[in-house]
């Protein structure tokens, strides 16, 4: 995996400082910013608020809380190989969403993507807002493709990914890993956005290597 130190501090500083407030479809105002080490309590509380089905669908676990090691791993981003953008409800101060990528150790232009949006914030456009910001940062870091796992029996998600030009990278028991090319221009485009928004809705299973590491509490450089 490429070292973040090879990319230059100006970009890392920009990524870390990037804060913007967005207005969702229902008028709610949400702050998008890079995750920090101080977000561990917010991240823990956000995970505990997820319903059991949501936790299993997005993290392959039914446990009700994250360990200290898992929280440490999730906030230890370098803004190059590992990036995470959080959404904070301006009204309550709660962490209500996270979009994350982890670069593949075998292909520097490929990253696995995972998105979690709080159950009560689904359907408001927050997933697209998070993915738009994450995609911008990923392109700046030299990433050209996002990968995610899709359950083989999930025809709707497979169709969305196919519409966005997604192609199979590999298959496993009951699942397909699909790769979606990121547009080279600003924004992510409606077709790509629709496919990636499925991740925020929980219909695209988050990338296995990221999620399994979170579920197992393993820290350190991610596998590809």
- pLDDT at residue 212, rounded to an integer: 46
- Residue 75: alpha-carbon gap to chain centroid: 13
Residue ranges making up the domain that contains 124: 4-216
Kindly state whether residue 197 falls inside one of the protein's structural domains: yes
- pLDDT at residue 213, rounded to an integer: 42
- pLDDT at residue 195, rounded to an integer: 64
- pLDDT at residue 96, rounded to an integer: 93
What is the CATH classification number for the domain harbouring 14?
3.40.630.30
Q: What pTM was computed for the model? A: 0.74
Kindly state whether residue 76 falls inside one of the protein's structural domains: yes
Q: What is the mean pLDDT of each run of 10 residues along the chain (224 residues)?
A: 42 62 93 94 87 62 77 90 94 92 89 84 87 90 83 60 57 67 69 59 45 38 34
Kindly state whether residue 224 falls inside one of the protein's structural domains: no
Kindly state whether residue 33 falls inside one of the protein's structural domains: yes
Kindly state whether residue 223 falls inside one of the protein's structural domains: no
Kindly state whether residue 135 falls inside one of the protein's structural domains: yes
Structural domain count of the chain: 1
CB-neighbour burial class of residue 174 (10 A; exposed 0-12, middle 13-18, buried 19+): exposed
């Amino acid at each position: 995996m490429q070292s973040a130190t090879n990319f230059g501090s100006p970009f890392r500083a920009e990524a870390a400082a990037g804060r913007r407030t967005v207005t969702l479809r229902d008028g709610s105002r949400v702050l998008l910013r890079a995750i920090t080490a101080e977000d561990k309590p917010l991240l823990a509380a956000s995970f505990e608020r997820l319903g059991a089905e949501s936790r299993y669908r997005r993290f392959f676990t039914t446990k009700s809380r994250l360990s200290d090691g898992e929280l440490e791993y999730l906030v230890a981003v370098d803004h190059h190989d590992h990036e995470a953008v959080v959404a904070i409800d301006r009204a309550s101060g709660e962490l209500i969403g996270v979009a994350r990528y982890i670069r593949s150790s075998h292909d520097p232009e490929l990253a696995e993507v995972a998105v979690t949006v709080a159950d009560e914030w689904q359907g408001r456009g927050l997933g697209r807002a998070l993915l738009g910001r994450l995609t911008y940062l990923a392109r700046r870091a030299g990433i050209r493709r996002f990968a995610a796992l899709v359950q083989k029996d999930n025809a709707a998600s497979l169709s969305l990914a196919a519409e966005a030009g997604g192609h199979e990278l590999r298959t496993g028991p009951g699942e397909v890993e699909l790769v979606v090319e990121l547009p080279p221009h600003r924004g992510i485009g409606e077709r790509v956005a629709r496919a990636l928004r499925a991740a925020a809705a929980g219909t695209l299973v988050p990338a296995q290597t990221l999620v399994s590491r979170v579920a197992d509490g393993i820290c350190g450089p991610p596998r590809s």
